[in-house]
């Protein structure tokens, strides 16, 4: 599991193009005001600590989800399929489960996205601080720690429009 953490949760991928402008954005992705990303210090499901503030210098894909929500269950497999498509890029995937137990998370991810190693927001307070519009939600955090984009829930991240959009982040 430690190996998977290093290769997936903290995988760094290298980008080649410029930051997308509004016209380039795929459906459901919105630019927002560039506010500072809230604190995100959590342990992953293996008990290993993670701190978003210590991982600057590249873009972060911060995704909040819970297994009880239907759109989350549909979206999660597409995230797992999308990650290897961005191999060689510089995007870090930060997958945050909201307020569920390890058993609930394991029994869900073990079937639909076994390669993902989520962070565990066990009491839900980190999710609350980030204030997503709902679950699932994805924030794209720039290398300086500012939230630049919000993706509405239930995206199909492995579709070309999303992969290309993420690839252009720089």
CB of 92 to another protein, least distance (A): 24
Contact 89, 166 (CB under 8 A): yes
Give DSSP secondary structure letters for 74-95: HHHHHHHHHHHHTTTS--EEEE
Contact residues toward another protein (CB under 8 A) are 27-28, 30, 66, 68-71, 73-74, 98-101, 104, 122-125, 127-128, 133-136, 152-154
Nearest to another protein of 1, 30 (CB atom): 30
CB of 30 to another protein, least distance (A): 6
Q: Which residues contact 47 (CB under 8 A, 6 or more apart)?
A: none
**Distance, CA of 56 to CA of 149 (rounded, Å):** 16
CB of 82 to another protein, least distance (A): 18
Nearest to another protein of 86, 135 (CB atom): 135
Token digits of residue 170 = 């720089």
CB of 70 to another protein, least distance (A): 5
């Amino acid at each position: 599991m430690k190996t998977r953490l290093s290769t997936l949760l903290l995988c760094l991928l290298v980008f080649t193009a410029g930051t997308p402008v509004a016209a380039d954005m795929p459906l459901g992705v919105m630019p927002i005001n560039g506010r500072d990303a809230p604190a995100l210090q959590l342990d992953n499901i293996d008990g290993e600590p993670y701190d978003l503030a210590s991982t600057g210098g590249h873009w972060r894909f911060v995704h909040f989800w819970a297994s009880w929500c239907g759109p989350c269950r549909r979206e999660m497999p597409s995230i797992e399929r999308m990650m290897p498509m961005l191999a060689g890029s510089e995007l870090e995937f930060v997958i945050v489960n909201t307020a569920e137990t390890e058993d609930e998370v394991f029994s869900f991810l073990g079937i639909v996205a076994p390669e993902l190693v989520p962070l565990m927001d066990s009491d839900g307070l980190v999710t609350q601080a980030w204030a997503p519009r709902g679950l699932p939600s994805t924030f794209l955090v720039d290398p300086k720690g500012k939230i630049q984009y919000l993706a509405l829930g239930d995206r199909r991240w492995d579709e070309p429009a999303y992969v290309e959009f993420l690839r252009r982040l720089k």
